[in-house]
Amino acid sequence: MDRRIPVDDRTGHPTVPETTRRADRLSGTRYGNRPTMKDVAARAGVGLKTVSRVVNGEPGVTPETERRVQEAIDALGFRRNDSARVLRKGRTASIGLVLEDLADPFYGPLSRAVEDVARAHGSLLINGSSAEDPDREQELVLALCARRVDGLVVIPAGDDHRYLEPELKAGVATVFVDRPAGKIDADVVLSDNYGGARSGVAHLIAHGHRRIGFVGDMPRIHTAAERLRGYRAAMEDAGIPVEESWMSLGVTDPERVRRAAEDMLCGPRPVTAIFSGNNRVTVTVIRVLAEHARRVALVGFDDIELADLLQPGVTVVAQDAAALGRTAAERLFRQLDGTPAAPERIELPTRLITRGSGELPPAD
């Protein structure tokens, strides 16, 4: 073009006149501008089948012809349409990942691990949040199936997955993570929630505590229920009767958790230690305890960043989120490889990391 091209003062970049670009984009059908294999064939002066061989890396093309075709491809900016192609071969080279909340730092390493495994198998990852809503989980899972993902890694929000049976029958590989599927038989990879919580509470008991509070997520969530079960088991092992006021399960919103923790900490016989059921709860409980006059011990389920730098450092029962994601994704691709295997429950151990807060004696 020989007309003067205006330059954006701020960036120093040329500003392409709006009308030219938008006209380009909006003319014709949405994909009407895309060069086709026919265009490539015409430009290279070869037949369509020859172009197809080059694009698909099939034999039967001389180096000279291949060079001409590649030149035409580059000159036209031809890009193979993988959506149409994969449909014909039966696999889409994509897997779906449904988790609770993309914004929760716990799911970061899990997602990344699933992605790394998918990538190693040449698959793309489609990601979505259920926001702990069973209806949204189902909507998202079915939307992914409608797009023919080869497999699904699902952190379930609901407790009834029979809606997935037609998909499983049609061959969609599925692995559940963090919580088991409801009412169907399927692979699940999760942490030892019960055992981990039990050892965390036993740790507090071993340091002299008897009045121990439990603040956890909504009781219908498998992990919350299992961790409560572990708490109860540890208390029972030590012969300590549990008071109802010591247990609070509900949404992990800071307001609800704060009220629950404050309630347990006030009154004539307050708790001397708290076990917090997951990373979201722990963060709020840490804040409440920081404002509290008396010293209160704390063990949290899930590690959190900077936990070691707080005064005192936070004692946690840590999961390995990356290992959960990696194990689930590897299981998924073994299913896709056709390796016959009955559905399995794979439980990964937790780790108690003592940093100070869980070893504080009761301030009696």
- One DSSP character per residue, 85-148 reads HHHHHT--SEEEEEES-TT-TTHHHHHHHHHHHHHHTT-EEEEEE-TT-HHHHHHHHHHHHHTT
Strand 273-276's sheet: what is its strand order?
Answer: 247-249, 212-216, 273-276, 297-301, 315-318, 351-353
CA quadruple 205, 208, 210, 211: dihedral, nearest 10:
-110
Nearer CB in complex with its own copies: 47/166: 166
CA quadruple 296, 302, 308, 313: dihedral, nearest 10:
10
**Smallest gap, in angstroms, from Cβ of residue 179 to its own copies?**
12
**Smallest gap, in angstroms, from Cβ of residue 348 to its own copies?**
16
Nearer CB in complex with its own copies: 33/251: 33
User: What distances in angstroms separate CA 327 from CA 193, 304, 332, 333, one per listed residue?
Assistant: 17, 22, 9, 10
Nearer CB in complex with its own copies: 75/251: 75
Nearer CB in complex with its own copies: 9/64: 9
Q: Round to whole Å and give the CA distance between 328 and 319.
A: 14
**Smallest gap, in angstroms, from Cβ of residue 80 to its own copies?**
6
Nearer CB in complex with its own copies: 92/248: 92
- Mode of pairing for the β-strands spanning 187-191 and 345-348: parallel
Which residues is 318 bridged to in the sheet? 351
**Smallest gap, in angstroms, from Cβ of residue 35 to its own copies?**
8
Nearer CB in complex with its own copies: 112/292: 112
